[in-house]
Amino acid sequence: MKRPAKSGSDQQSLGTLLKRAEQAMLKSKTAALKPVGLTLAQYVAMKELDRTQNITAATLARTCFVSPQAMMILLKTMEQQGLIARQPHPRHANVLEIKVTEVGREAFHAGRAQIDPVENRVFAEFSRKELELFGTFLSRFVSAINTG
In the chain, the amino acid numbered 147 is T
Residue 9 lies in a domain: no
Q: What is the mean pLDDT of residues 100-129?
A: 96
Domain total of the chain = 1
Tens digit of each residue's pLDDT (9 = 90 or more) over 80-112: 999 999 888 777 777 788 999 999 999 999 999
**Distances in Å between the alpha carbon of 26 and those of 21, 23, 29, 136?**
9, 5, 5, 22
Residue 5 lies in a domain: no
Residue 30 lies in a domain: no
Residue 20 lies in a domain: no
Residue 117 lies in a domain: yes
Instruction: Indicate which CATH number applies to the domain containing 130.
Output: 1.10.10.10
pLDDT of residue 97: 87
d(CA 140, CA 83): 36
d(CA 63, CA 57): 10
Burial class, 136, CB count within 10 angstroms (exposed 0-12 / middle 13-18 / buried 19+): exposed
Residue 19 lies in a domain: no
- For residue 83, what are the domain limits? 37-147
Tens digit of each residue's pLDDT (9 = 90 or more) over 32-54: 999 999 999 999 999 999 998 77
Residue 60 lies in a domain: yes
Spatial CA neighbour of 84 closest among 72, 95, 68: 72
pTM of the predicted protein model: 0.83
Q: What is the mean pLDDT of residues 8-33?
A: 87
Residue 77 lies in a domain: yes
